[in-house]
Structure 1
């Protein structure tokens, strides 16, 4: 499971005295633990952990952009490095061309028009299972539906 891999990597970073990965993985582990204690019988499955990681990656990306706009490149670089550490635990992302092909295939299968945007989005996001950015899928669905 992904959670165990994160804990193993955290232990390795501890032994290697590698501060940045260690702090990032500790924060990630804390987020996972927070999820698990948030309710009765809450178990952090791989899908849940991936969702937590994606949220953390998005936060780091937004923070880096904010720091760059504010002229603080050092802090932006740190956020980007943390983002890279987290991205190692996510599945390989599909290219725009791959996603475009899936969107077109889905539109053809469903035989839908512009009014069925939600149907197409739901079907495509289900097919890509976290391997495609939602914003990119949204853009491509709008583009191909006309």
Structure 2
């Protein structure tokens, strides 16, 4: 997603007085700006940086939702709304079958080494942001068995 599109979404959420969406978009923009500054970029924030910020915020929201006490339904509802608002901006993630197919096709030579570290390094370079790291690790483990 483009950074300019996020800024337009923030303005739209403010006009609609949608506090949950405004909070989610604000957090994503903040993460994207911080990451860009850390990478030495102040202008022209790339799509990769924005997608990384969205993924990071989505992961944080998911952890927050999972660690919420079961008896606090009000908090759970609030966290779920926030998670849904962030998830609306998230790039489509690859399924486990798609990841398995990509790894089997493109990384057959690296898989032959049976070195998990080398495999993960090669695979994560290709699939970072397109699939969850835990799922990739699980697929690599299954393929090594």
Normalised-by-shorter TM-score class = 0.7 to 0.9
User: Which structure is richer in relative contact order (CA contacts within 8 A, separation 6 or more)?
Assistant: 2
Q: 1:111 to 1:33 in 2, by over 3 A?
A: closer
RMSD: 2.3
Of residues 89-98 and 33-42 in structure 1, the stretch that sits farther from structure 2 once superposed is 33-42
1:107 CA drift (Å): 4.3
1:89-100 → structure 2 map (5 Å cutoff) = 89-100=89-100
Deviation track 1:37-66 (CA, whole Å, cap 9, x = no partner) reads 557544532211221221111111111111
| Structure 1 counterpart SS, 2:93 | coil
Q: Which residue of 2 aligns with 1:77?
A: 77
Q: 1:98 to 1:13 in 2, by over 3 A?
A: same
Aligned residues: 144
Q: Which residue of 2 aligns with 1:19?
A: 19
Q: Which residue of 2 aligns with 1:105?
A: 105
Q: Which residue of 1 aligns with 2:63?
A: 62
1:15 CA drift (Å): 1.5
Structure-2 separation of matches of 1:99 and 1:35: 27
After TM superposition, the score normalised by the length of structure 1 is: 0.83
